Homo-oligomer: A and B are copies of this chain.
């Protein structure tokens, strides 16, 4: 069947459609709104892996009872510290993040830096929407969270670490922020799965089989362990994420998440750590304007033919804003099915 050409949607229209699906599935206003915002942003930026594709996983996790679709996150009162605590109450991280962001920004401005700790949340969105939201306040951001135990530490053989994303952002005055957001595994688990479906061998260095031997067989890799990016250095950073964004904040580590869910097909339940830094406060009294100096660094990177991370994403965003977002007939039909049948469509 050839999909018929479909009219492009505005981002607002796509947001409305996703939000309605989540409301139909029993999510309350804050949960549905926050999740619809990040998945719309993913689709708008042509991050297909973090766009409407994730609606199904969201609904599956709701249906499995592993996330509270009615959760109303709670912000702890200001205790004078640099820590902003949000209890997600078993809901999605994004609703908790939206609640805590104004306080994180205020605290970082007052103290120079601050941390938002989100506990008891389910996280399945990309981290860059949160990074960008912090940079919109003129602050730099560092964000990390555990995942499921699917990655072996370098030198080891068994899945222990998660794909543990690490993200960072720097605010820019007249353009999109400098943002990176990547898995600390050499590849995302979804990429291994795509190789399996295509019957293609994996590149060397991606994975181990169940006996701990290097493998390029996707099937064997999925039964074994993925490897960290950058050898022992990436392994160390991934371990740091387990320590800071799992253990330190009193929330689950990647092996504990896998124990809790018993599967990697549901969205992971854990905590999240968001650090915010005020360049204005840090640079105070020092020569030079930090934002102007950063532009010189970015120009030196671009000027030699290298790319800033996220440049492709920002270009896709501009195109989506100008021309709208076009979904395929299959995608449109799936959204319609979700809207009509709710959790029964899963």
Contacts and interface: CB of A to CB of B under 8 A. Distances in A.
Interface residues of A, number: 71
Contacts of A83: 111-113, 281-282
Given A113-B83, A170-B243, A297 B253 contact: yes
A250 B288 contact: yes
B253 A286 contact: no
Given A83-B112, A111-B81, A156 B290 contact: no
Given A249-B283, A283-B250, A304 B168 contact: no
A15 interface: no
A251 interface: yes
Contact of A82 (B82, B166, B230, B240): B82
Chain A at the B interface: SS class? mixed
B140 A244 contact: yes
A87 to B, nearest CB: 10
A154 to B, nearest CB: 6
A229 interface: yes
A209 interface: no
A248 interface: yes
B140 A309 contact: no
A327 interface: no
Contacts of A166: 237
Interface stretch (A30-38, A114-122, A259-267): A114-122
A150 interface: no
Contact of A305 (B142, B155, B236, B300): B155
A246 to B, nearest CB: 8
B233 A182 contact: yes
Contacts of A244: 140, 277
A155 B82 CA distance: 38
Nearest to A168: B240
Contacts of A305: 155-157
B113 A115 contact: yes
A277 B157 CA distance: 31
A110 B251 CA distance: 22
B115 A290 contact: no
A163 interface: no
Nearest to A232: B309
A340 interface: no
In this complex, the member of A83, A154, A236, A255 whose beta carbon has the largest number of chain B beta carbons within 10 angstroms is: A236
A306 B236 contact: no
Contacts of A110: 81
A217 interface: no
A318 interface: no
6 contacts: A82-B113, A140-B244, A155-B305, A160-B304, A239-B297, A247-B283
Given A83-B281, A153-B304, A232-B309, 9 more contacts: A81-B281, A83-B111, A152-B306, A156-B305, A160-B301, A168-B236, A182-B236, A184-B233, A230-B231
